[in-house]
Amino acid sequence: MSNETITLELTPQQILRKKANGETVLLDVPEDPRRHVISLRLENHVGALNRVINLFSARNFNLDSVTVGPTEDPTVSVMTIATSGTRRQIKQVLRLLDRLLDTLSVDDLPLESLVERELCLVKVEYTTANRAELMDIAKIFRAQVVNVTPESMTFEVTGPTAKINAFMGMMKPHGIIEVARSGRVALRRDMPYGT
């Protein structure tokens, strides 16, 4: 089939909708999923988190990380969801999240104007031979030593996901024993629209 034949199989309304959503007009060219960070403000009720997770599970959407915590108002929680999907899938998720019972606001945070951080604890094998190198790596990444035993050192590092992944890559040759990561928290650099 030629591209012209494929395009003609779509109705004019379908072509307009696809163009408006930034989707490909060709039927046989799938859109690549992109990374998205969604900020969701919820009423702090029992079961609110469960409803959000069930929504993602029912639609077979992947959750890269979920972080939930209280806001300046103790009756409201903010949930930061890192996921990936096509524009159409993300629009569907945003629409469904907005319809949930406890939802106060939903915001697909633009990656180019996003401040995001993650906390990571990394326990690494420790000897007197590799101590200086471990401390040099920690200094480069501004990591803090939070625990030392005769066999291991535990580092705390915070920053964007790319920084955490780079730190883990540098520590891997030294023998990572255990890792605990918090998931992402994120805010817009500027004021959200409509405020």
Question: CATH number for the 7-112 domain, one of 2.60.40.10, 3.40.50.720, 3.30.930.10, 3.30.70.260?
Answer: 3.30.70.260
Alpha carbon 53 to its chain centroid, in Å, reads 14
Per-domain boundaries in the chain: 7-112, 114-188
**Residue 124: both structure tokens together:** 């690494």
Q: Is the pLDDT of residue 194 over 60?
A: no
Q: Is the pLDDT of residue 2 over 50?
A: no
Angstrom distance (rounded) from CA 135 to CA 142: 10
Q: Is the pLDDT of residue 32 over 90?
A: no
Q: Is the pLDDT of residue 195 over 80?
A: no
Q: Is the pLDDT of residue 14 over 80?
A: no
Q: Is the pLDDT of residue 25 over 70?
A: no
Q: Would you state the pLDDT for residue 48?
A: 87
Q: Would you state the pLDDT for residue 183?
A: 86
Q: Is the pLDDT of residue 22 over 90?
A: no
Instruction: Report the CATH number of the 114-188 domain.
Output: 3.30.70.1150
What's the pLDDT tens digit per position in 79-124?
A: 999 988 888 888 888 999 999 888 999 998 888 888 889 999 999 9
Please give the residue that has the higher pLDDT: either 187 or 194: 187
Q: Is the pLDDT of residue 190 over 90?
A: no
Q: Is the pLDDT of residue 137 over 90?
A: yes
The residue-averaged pLDDT of 150-172 equals 95
The residue count for the chain: 195
Please give the residue that has the higher pLDDT: either 177 or 187: 177
Q: Would you state the pLDDT for residue 7?
A: 43
Give one word for 88, left, alpha or beta, with left for phi > 0 and alpha for psi -120 to 50: alpha
The model's confidence at residue 5, banded by pLDDT at 50, 70 and 90, is very low
**Residue 74: both structure tokens together:** 């103790």
Angstrom distance (rounded) from CA 157 to CA 117: 10
**17: which DSSP letter?**
H
Angstrom distance (rounded) from CA 42 to CA 78: 6
